[in-house]
Amino acid sequence: MSNRQLDSLSHSEMLEKIRSEISSGVGKKIAHESAERHVNGEAIYIDDRLEFPNQLHLYPVLSEVAHGLIKNIELQQCSALAGVERVFVAADIPGDADIGPVLPGDPLLADEKVQYVGQVIAVVAASSMEIARRGASLVKVEIEELPAILDVVQAHALQHYVMDPHRHSIGNAEAALAKAPNKLSGELHIGGQEHFYLETQICSTVPTEEGGMLVFASTQHPSEVQKLVAQVIDVPLNKVMVDMRRMGGGFGGKETQAAQPACLAALVSKLTGKPCKMRLSRELDMRMTGKRHPFVVQFEVGFTDQGLLAGLKLDLLADCGYSPDLSGSIVDRAMFHSDNAYYLGNADITGYRCKTHRASNTAYRGFGGPQGMVAIENIMDQIAGSLQLDPLSVRKLNYYGIDERNITHYGQTVTGNLLAEMTAELEQSCEYSARRQQIALFNRQQPVMKKGLALTPVKFGISFTATFLNQAGALVHIYTDGSIHLNHGGTEMGQGLNTKVAQIVAEEFQVDIDNIYMSATNTDKVPNTSPTAASSGADLNGKAAQNAARIIKARLLEFAAKEYQLPVEQITFVNNHVKLADRVISFTQLVQQAYFAQVSLSSTGFYRTPKIFYDRDAASGTPFYYYSFGMACSEVIIDTLTGEYKVLRTDILHDVGDSLNPRIDIGQVEGGFIQGMGWMTTEELVWSDTGKLLTSNPMSYKIPAITDIPNDFRVKLLENRKNPEDTVFHSKAVGEPPFMLAISVWCALKDALSSIADYKHQPVLNSPATPEAVLWAVQKMRKQSADDHCEH
Amino acid sequence: MIEFLLHNDRVQLQDINPNTTVLQYLREHRQLTGTKEGCASGDCGACTVVIAQLDEQNQLCYQSINACITLISALDGKQLISVEDLQQQQQLHSAQQAMVDCDGSQCGFCTPGFVMSLFALQKNCSSYDKHKVQQALAGNLCRCTGYRAIDRAAAQALNDKVVDHFDPLVSSTSKELREIKSSAADGSHAALNYQQQLSHIPKDVASLAQLLIDYPQATLIAGGTDLAVEITQRAAQFSHLISVQQVSQLQEYRITDRHIEIGAALSLHQCQQLLAPYFSDFSELLERFASLQIRNQGTLGGNIANASPIGDAPPALIALDATLVLRLGADSREVAVADFFLDYRKTALQPSEFIEKILIPLPVQALDSQWALKIYKVTKRFDDDISAICAANFVRLNNRGEVVAIRLAYGGMAAVAKRASNTEASLLGQIWSHANIEKAVTCLSKDFQPLSDFRASSDYRLLVAENLLRKLYIETQHMSAGSSQPAPSQSIQTRISDYV
């Protein structure tokens, strides 16, 4: 209901109104702000924008070679094709030709050499996408091939890195390992992951006056697109405006990877003076853009007879692809999460950023964290297997303590630890021990099908580990009819950020959310923003918007106090009204009165996360403002003749502090879990021997479908646990942590496998655990079981 | 000319490139951008729209299809419903409202496709049924929600179904479609003609046969779910298409006491429903064959003629000893499916010849023998995934437990779907026993040297083929005479599909 209608209420009606509260404030279960427009097709994505009559469409020419020197590019035939405007190569770039986000290394168009199959060498601009595509097929590139490195272990052996290795050390791992009563070592391969946002990378550009550029980009990082476009077309940042209403999914894949199509479109717009659009087909998107980093983990672990960690040496070999991109921070985060929920004691964790001739791997939900966690969860299973203990008991034994055993390998004290408490709650509600027995019985009776069960924890650090990124801005206007316009620096990719931030502002002013309008995220509304990443969107932008709202609210209070001669304490905002002692006026009335009294009704807001710091040289500090916790228990069944499997049941208990919006948070938990499950099961990236991605479309790359979700899927948010830190309404970040709950599925598959050899051995099961990977593990377990029987 | 209803408006088209997809038509020609492109290969469902057409009983039926790989000519005589048509005035359709109420959208990009699949499901299903929901939605990928919210939305959409604005229009829409049909030309002239790119839509088998003789270079198109991918993914342009979609004889089926006779252009979804009472494993295979959108559009004849080494229908048809009726002009001939595939994507079809019918013999029920048909499809993802290996096995045992007939047909193991002849030979006439199966298993490597690709390695394919023979035995050992083994359903679990 709008305030305009409320103005017509009588005073007694207003008095009645303020007995109830707004229905759309913080903590309320309201739908996504765009839900109605999603379902009726009115939500506009960039490709839905009306095209200009002279708009050009771009299509890239890609390298077919993983590593080589460009000898010649033949453009003649392409340029001659009717409808082709022009073909552009590196030499055409007026400004900076490198679009590396942190360090250089990502040429916008390959110059002199190519470093992966799929690297863009030229871009064709034509009157339609079909013509541009035909044109691109006519460009002939001559490349002299050089030896390519396509294997991360080989790259590591050659010290072929994109950045130097980095180490976290605590205690003395070497000495502890030497005297540990039990030792294990091993290697685990963890696959990458295609983001598979449903909307592929896209950008459209319109040249503006004075050489500027209006950029509509599907990006998680408008400010970086602004900066890179400005550098490429050689204008100052103030000439470039980036507009981003919504993405059709991001998941990290549009943090840096959105910049290339945007910069190419801007380049062509700059050089032709025409509007441009670059939309990648699914195949192009999958070939050109980076993915989650594949890792190889090498470990040596010592432990007591009870299964307590005694010493750990862990090497994380990350396949970064050909350039640094964000690999510095991603591998750091993998290292930061190699403890997951466990006190490591004496440990050396080393991260290697290996350079291979593949697309540059990039941010993906969890940002290295999942790979680090998989490494330690695998070790937990290995320890349990070698001691023939239930893996859950080993996990619980190694949990961080509350007052002791609570220092991480990077020196941060773990506070607000909910591990033991949440484990106990989930273990009971999912009937872990009863089901363990039922499963053991089933497995004894069934020769072909085997069931497995696993309960695994998640502890995830919240904050950008590059500390300066932990800042945000917002802009709030109140217009004279009482309606509110809100902008913030975050981007909406489906996660419900705009809904949450609007709820926060609604809560501050105690007005309904319908009264708040959010237009596109725009670099000329809120400048110098951080990417919407690291799960930080609501934490940072929510606080900034709250801050802006509070500034205006303070002005309104000050005005009202003066106007109505009341102490500020007697003025309260309630349900679209303002209570002035025993008088009530509508919010709109107060706004109008303030306007006539020349009070500013617009403000920016700013926020930076307190407390955190990290000394990378010392590899120590408090990089995280707080931790988020989660627990999942999954039960699976496998077919030991084919390796096929199904998740039968998953129970989740997840901590979001005081939820800003439980409906949206549940959606994040469920969606994150299923995405994580895909990563660990059916999503397999396969490359040819020459470095060409073979799984470059949804025909060959299989993300979960509706049939793959657990038959019984019980998801709960932990109740009545405020974030102890002063976050926005004591909520917690929710974007990434649930992704890692899916490790429980992989551990359950291993549990089912270990039943084949009477739980006497732990299988090695690389990720993704495709049916083929599971079947080979079955074969190994059968062999071990047969060997056991021979020995007896 | 083609004529169809776009929502409720009659549209006539002639001067349009026949290679245009329905998605391009909606987005680029009509500026109806609610329907999205997620993959342009029929794998993600973001482009799902609904086609309403008259069935053989002249009833209006609603089917979801992938607009991205449906060519414009497929709309002839039908009603096209896209997401823009569901909302009336400011009122969301119940399928839309359910998605809002249950948080079925996050980024929203896949959402119009889900809404359309849900809408079609509402029209075809009276109340919530988990299996039917999975069938309807397995071809719609969502990367954000994890599907549980969408499943809840499906429950609401089905259980709280209300009369929508399509219901009162059923008879008038049917009438319009009949009018369009009756006013349509006979199909001898090109329906679409654009810069020398032609599309013919003949109405009967004789005209089809004649057109293929008149234009031997033309491309025959049935559902087009593979052919259109050539256009969208490999930039192919077909200069002359001849479509079988309006040839009603090719969509007929007949069940005699000896055969199931299926017109080559019967959709895979209709085939599944037709075969379910006779061959439950074949029906289950067809359910996992592809998404419902594809199965509504794709045809059994098309899948056979396409001759993919990983097509799922050929192994099943070979195991059932099915025969094809091929037609060239006025002449017909029969070829066993097993003899139809000559080499990789090469078939016995002569130029201008086409598949008219598929004849599936009904296994003889006899007192002195028992038979079983067991089909296994092994994939990375359960639904909507191409087989790493598909094994279709027919076995008949006499009362002494001896194998009197056996056909073990495999897809994904060679350049064509084919039988494991050495393995079969080792079992024929032998007692159906564990020991003989283990002997037979060793023959499989003589029959097949499968390839390694991104779906599976050669070693995996061979091991699974061996294991599927073992599984076949476990599932059929109770058939052996004198066996004390109870039926498999009472003892040994063997199928993941029982847990889906």
Q: What is the pLDDT of residues A25-82, one digit of tens each?
A: 999 999 999 999 999 999 999 999 999 999 999 999 999 999 999 999 999 999 999 9
- Using a 10 angstrom Cβ sphere, with 0-12 exposed, 13-18 middle and 19 or more buried, the burial of residue B93 is buried
Cβ pair A670:B105 closer than 8 A: no
For residues B475 and B485, give the distance between their C-alpha atoms in angstroms, rounded to a whole number.
10
* pLDDT score at B488: 53
Residues 331-350 of A with CB under 8 A from B: none
Partners of residue B496 in chain A, C-beta under 8 Å: 449, 637, 639, 642, 644-646
C-beta atoms surrounding A192 within 10 Å: 24
Considering only CB atoms, A32 lies closest to which of B106, B148, B496, namely B106
| pTM score of the predicted model | 0.98
Active site (annotated) includes residue A224: no
Overall average pLDDT of the A733-748 stretch? 98
Q: How far is CA A337 from CA A314, A370, A376, A674, B222, in A?
A: 12, 8, 9, 20, 53
Which residues of chain A neighbour B143 with C-beta distances below 8 Å? Answer: 195-198, 249, 251, 671, 675, 703
Q: What is the pLDDT of residues B279-321, one digit of tens each?
A: 999 999 999 999 999 999 999 999 999 998 888 999 999 999 9
* Nearest-CA distance B395 → chain A (Å): 20
Nearest-CB residue to A698 (from B43, B145, B147): B43
A776: nearest CA in chain B?
B460
- Return the CATH number of B89-159, one of 1.10.150.120, 1.20.1250.20, 3.40.50.1820, 1.10.3720.10: 1.10.150.120
**Residues of chain B positioned with their CB less than 8 A from the CB of A770:** 380
Are residues A671 and B108, on separate chains, in Cβ contact within 8 Å? no
Partners of A642 on chain B (C-beta within 8 Å) are 376, 378, 464, 467-468, 471, 496
Place of tokens 């990082």: A221
CATH class in words for A3-30+471-608: alpha beta
Distances (CA, A) of B108 to A197, A380, B116, B279: 11, 39, 13, 40
d(CA B430, CA B432): 6
pLDDT reported for residue A1: 37
Nearest-Å Rg of the Cα atoms of chain B is 24
Interface with chain B: mutation pick from A37, A642, A665, A685, highest number of B CBs within 10 Å: A642
pLDDT per residue over B133-154, tens digit each? Answer: 999 999 999 999 999 999 999 9
Distance CA A539, CA A461 (A): 13
Which residues make beta-bridge pairs with B49? B65
Q: What are the tens digits of pLDDT across the range A213-260? A: 999 999 999 999 999 999 999 999 999 999 999 999 999 999 999 999
Task: Give DSSP secondary structure letters for A402-468.
Answer: SSSS-B-TTS-B--S--HHHHHHHHHHHTTHHHHHHHHHHHHHH-SSEEEEEEEEEEEEEES-SSGG
Yes or no, beta carbons of B115 and A39 under 8 Å apart: yes
**Across the interface, do B146 and A38 touch by the CB < 8 Å criterion?**
no
List C-alpha distances in Å: A175 to A184, A305, A345: 15, 18, 12
Q: Is the dihedral of CA B333, B336, B339, B342 positive or negative?
A: positive
Query: Is the link from the previous residue into A768 a cis peptide, with omega within 30 of 0?
Result: yes
Express each pLDDT in A368-426 by its tens digit.
999 999 999 999 999 999 999 999 999 999 999 999 999 999 999 999 999 999 999 99
Mean per-residue pLDDT over chain B, rounded = 95
Q: Which of these is catalytic: A194, A224, A508, A736?
A: A736
Task: Indicate yes or no: CB of B235 within 8 angstroms of CB of A137.
Answer: yes
Same topology between domain A3-30+471-608 and domain A295-465+616-791: yes
Inspect the interface and report whether the beta carbons of B493 and A50 lie closer than 8 Å: no
Q: Residue A697: which of B43, B86, B455 has the nearest Cβ?
A: B43
Chain centre distance of CA A15: 46
Angle CA A679–A196–A671, to nearest 5: 60
* H or E segment and range at residue A3: helix A3-6
Q: Would you say residue A6 has pLDDT above 50? A: no
Angle between helices A369-387 and A391-398 (to 10 degrees): 120
Q: How many CB atoms lie within 10 A of CB A570?
A: 14
Give first-to-last CA distance, chain A, whole Å: 78
Q: Which parts of chain B register pLDDT below 50?
A: none
Which one of B40, B147, B233 has the shortest CB-CB distance to A706? B147
A532: tokens are 């919407």
Question: In this complex, is the C-beta atom of A282 within 8 Å of any C-beta atom belonging to chain B?
Answer: yes
* Domain limits, chain B: 2-84+166-243, 89-159
Cβ-based contacts of A37 with chain B (< 8 Å): 108
The 3-state secondary structure of chain B reads: CEEEEECCEEEEECCCCCCCEHHHHHHHHCCCCCCCCCCCCCCCCCCEEEEEEECCCCCEEEEEEEHHHCEHHHHCCCEEECHHHCCECCECCHHHHHHHHCCCCCCCCCHHHHHHHHHHHHHHCCCCCHHHHHHHHCCCCCCCCCCHHHHHHHHHHHHCCCCCCCHHHHHHHHHHHHHHHHHCCCCCCCCEEECCEEEECCCCHHHHHHHHHHCCCCEEECCCCCHHHHHHHHCCCCCEEEECCCCHHHHCEEECCCEEEEECCCEHHHHHHHHCCCCHHHHHHHHHHCCHHHHHHCEHHHHHHHCCCCCCHHHHHHHCCCEEEEEECCEEEEEEHHHHEEECCEECCCCCCEEEEEEEECCCCCCCEEEEEEEEEECCCCCCCCCCEEEEEEEEEECCCEEEEEEEEEECCCCCCEECHHHHHHHCCCECCHHHHHHHHCCHHHHCCCCCCCCCCHHHHHHHHHHHHHHHHHHHHHHCCCCCCCCHHHCCCCCHHHHC
Average the pLDDT over A342-367 and give the result.
98
Contacts of A446 in chain B (CB under 8 A): 492-493
Structure tokens at B203: 């109405």
Euclidean distance between CA atoms B245 and B299, whole angstroms: 10
Q: Looking at the partner chain, which of B100, B107, B149 has a beta carbon nearest the beta carbon of A36?
A: B100
In eight-state DSSP terms, residue A167 is E
Residue A791 has pLDDT above 80, yes or no: no
Domain ranges of chain A: 3-30+471-608, 47-147+201-279, 295-465+616-791
Cβ neighbour number for residue A617 with a 10 Å cutoff:
6
pLDDT at B188: 84
Question: Looking at chain A, which residue has its C-alpha nearest residue B472?
Answer: A641
What residue in B sits closest to A676 (Cα-Cα)? B146
Tell me how many residue pairs between chain A and chain B have CB atoms under 8 A apart: 259
Q: Give A-chain residues touching B384 at CB under 8 angstroms.
A: 705
A147 Cβ contact list (under 8 Å, min separation 6): A67
For range A772-792, the mean pLDDT:
93
Decide if B92 and A39 are in contact by the 8 Å CB cutoff.
yes
Task: Establish how many alpha carbons lie within 13 A of residue B434's alpha carbon, considering only the half-sphere containing its beta carbon.
Answer: 4
Coil, strand or helix: which one is A184? strand
Over residues B436-486, the pLDDT tens digits come to: 999 999 999 999 999 999 999 999 999 999 999 999 999 999 998 655 555
A47-147+201-279 fold = Aldehyde Oxidoreductase; domain 3 (3.90.1170)
Kindly report the average pLDDT of chain A as a whole number: 97
Number of CB atoms found within 10 A of residue A722's CB? 13
Domain A295-465+616-791 CATH assignment equals 3.40.50.2300: no
C-beta separation of B180 from B13 below 8 A: no
| Residue from the list B33, B101, B385 with its beta carbon closest to the beta carbon of A48 | B33
Q: Which tokens sit at A96? A: 């900076």
Q: Which helix (H) or strand (E) holds A377?
A: helix A369-387
Helix axes A369-387, A662-680, angle to 10 degrees: 70
The token pair that represents B267 in the structure block: 């959709």
Residue-wise pLDDT for A69-83, tens only, equals: 999 999 999 999 999
Q: Does domain B2-84+166-243 have CATH number 3.10.20.30?
A: yes
Pairwise CA distance, residues B323 & B341, whole Å:
12
A80-96 as b/e: b if 16+ CB within 10 A: ebeebbbbbbbebbebb
Query: Are A255 and A490 contacting, i.e. CB atoms less than 8 angstroms apart?
Result: no
Owner of token pair 């437990």: B401
CB A240 within 8 Å of CB A223: no
Tokens 């001691």 correspond to A387
Interface TM-score (ipTM) > 0.95: yes
